[in-house]
Amino acid sequence: MESATSAVAGASRPGIMRIGVTTAVFAAAGALLAIGLLLAFWWAPTDASAMGFSQKIFYYHAPIAETALLSFGIAFVAGILYLRRQDARYDRLGVAAVRLGLLFSGLVMATGMIWGKAAWGVFWAWEPRLTTFLIACLLYAGYFVLRGTVEEESRRATYSALFAIIAFVDVPITFFATRLLPEGLHPVVIRPGSSGMDHRDFIAFMLSMAGMTLLLVGMLRIEIGIEALREELQYLKNRLGR
Amino acid sequence: MPLDEAVKYVASAYAVIIVVFIAYLVVAGRRIGRLQREVQVIDDELTRREGRAGA
């Protein structure tokens, strides 16, 4: 007999993630991150500046930061697409991207504080990059506060899309903060026309970047799958009259 | 900075990253498992009801 959920399969039913693809994405991400880290520790030269060995934090710290900003960028694009097409898939993508953006932001703050203590002797400094990143975290935390206050689904999705678009204003400010205000403590690693790094540093860094980006893709698939399952559950509960 | 002190900072940073990612995967796996079980239970119940209604 056909099951109740397969009977409603169609455009209105949320899609379920394919576990095989997600596992393959995680495996590729794990391999790239592991190789990047091995190269960072055993091939790339140790920083000759005052930072010395503690500079090794950079190989995951910077890719995590870029991934956090990329997540917010995805939420921005998903917000625009939702407003244009009113398709719930873009709302799910937006929620997943902001949630992961916050997770990566928390990690970048934590590793950044450890790095700050090693490099500057303090866990926190009110300098442009750190301050704008903190503002981004607080802004995107507000995204979930907003979602929690609106019950009606389509209104919640519309407000969330608008919020994600407006909050994205802080992302380029955060990214360019160290370039526009060079008197800050945070170093500028990649400059236009030059990576500013030894080629071994650069290869290890780019592998970590690729791995972290793939990790985000895998995690996005998980989060979207969870949102889809949640919606499917709500749909079935409504049919059951619960 | 002396190497032994730098090693502590580097190890702490990577430990935080690894713990957070592993914790994420464990929590996400549990969330998926719980939701799939709930969906299955309600799906079975609906299928039974529709089977009875059709009979």
What integer is the mean pLDDT of B11-26? 95
Given this model, what pLDDT does residue A182 score? Answer: 63
pTM summary value: 0.85
Domain annotation covers residue A52: yes
Q: What is the pLDDT of residues A108-167, one digit of tens each?
A: 999 999 988 888 888 988 888 888 889 999 999 999 999 999 989 899 999 999 999 999
Domain annotation covers residue A27: yes
Domain annotation covers residue A84: yes
B46/chain A closest Cα distance in angstroms: 6
A194: which strand partners?
Answer: A191
Given this model, what pLDDT does residue B2 score? Answer: 77
Degrees to nearest 5, angle at CA A83 with A77 and A86: 115
Given this model, what pLDDT does residue A231 score? Answer: 87
Which residue of B12, B28, B46 is in closest CB contact with A240?
A: B46
Separation between Cα atoms, residue B9 and residue B13, nearest integer Å: 6
Identity of the residue numbered A200: R
Confidence of residue B53 (pLDDT cuts 50, 70, 90): confident
Given this model, what pLDDT does residue A8 score? Answer: 36
Residue with tokens 């970048």: A108
Identity of the residue numbered A54: S
Domain annotation covers residue A112: yes
CB contact under 8 A, B51 and A118: no
Domain annotation covers residue A9: no
- Nearest CA to B36 out of A25, A237, A16, A93 is that of A16
DSSP secondary structure code for residue A55 in this structure: G
- Nearest CA to A88 out of A36, A156, A24, A42 is that of A156
Given this model, what pLDDT does residue A4 score? Answer: 45
Range of the domain at A212: 18-231
A191: which strand partners?
Answer: A194
Domain annotation covers residue A34: yes
CB contact under 8 A, B10 and A54: yes
Domain count, chain A: 1
Chain B, window 8-47: residues with a beta carbon less than 8 angstroms from a chain A beta carbon: 9-10, 12-14, 16-17, 20-21, 24, 28, 31-32, 35-36, 38-39, 42-47
Domain annotation covers residue A13: no
- Which regions in chain A score pLDDT beneath 70? 1-18, 48-50, 181-196, 242
Domain annotation covers residue A109: yes
